[in-house]
Homo-oligomer: A and B are copies of this chain.
Amino acid sequence: MDKTTKEKILDAALELFSQRGYKGASVRMISSKVGIRESALYNHFKNKEDILNTIVSTLSSSSLSFLSSGKPLEESAKKGKSFLREFATSFKLLSYDEKSEKFFRFMMIELMQNRNIRDIFLNDFHQTHLKILSQAFFIMMQEGMIRSSDPMLMAREFLSPLFFYRMQATLLRLDRESTSSVATLFEKHIDFFWEMISE
């Protein structure tokens, strides 16, 4: 509560962008969702694109990558399977965070249409996670916990199913279907993957 009009506009815009994409969500819809006229909206943002840019720059950094939480990777990676479980859980939990989930839906819609969103997806989102994972696998290999292989390849192999399952959960939720079957896929993925790579 006690949100400023500006914040209300951003919330309404994110909601509509995530449902209909940037072009499909009109300034009219956004302002009516907030409860003001279109013209009043222009007191808070220069134009429609300004709303988009504010949302993107706010959410692209914060809501996409987790695990920036202190702890040195050297320590956590040595936990092996537990580390992977923590990573996957953080990944899965993102889809339960309302704003992250809406931004994810929006990214998926715009991925093929907007170069800027593509860059954010591939760099901020994907590369960041790959980097963490490949470092972790490298450490696990050094410790002799897992088979020796290309850490970056292993990171990709571990991350792709996580991404796919997250997308699937998002799709199911859109049709108000249960996501419990997908939730177990995360668990099964970790078990399967660990069994395959562990020495």
Contacts and interface: CB of A to CB of B under 8 A. Distances in A.
Interface of A: 18-21, 23-24, 105, 108-109, 111-113, 115, 118, 121-122, 149-150, 153-154, 156-157, 160-161, 163-165, 168, 170-171, 174-175, 185, 188-189, 192-193, 196-197
B20 A153 contact: no
A157 B113 contact: no
Contact of A163 (B108, B150, B160): B160
A31 to B, nearest CB: 20
B108 A111 contact: yes
The secondary structure that dominates the A interface is helix
Nearest to A122: B171
Contacts of A149: 192
Contact of A156 (B111, B150, B161): B161
A112 B174 contact: yes
B153 A157 contact: no
Given A24-B23, A171-B122, A196-B196, A189 B112 contact: no
B175 A115 contact: yes
A192 B153 contact: yes
Contacts of A20: 23, 113
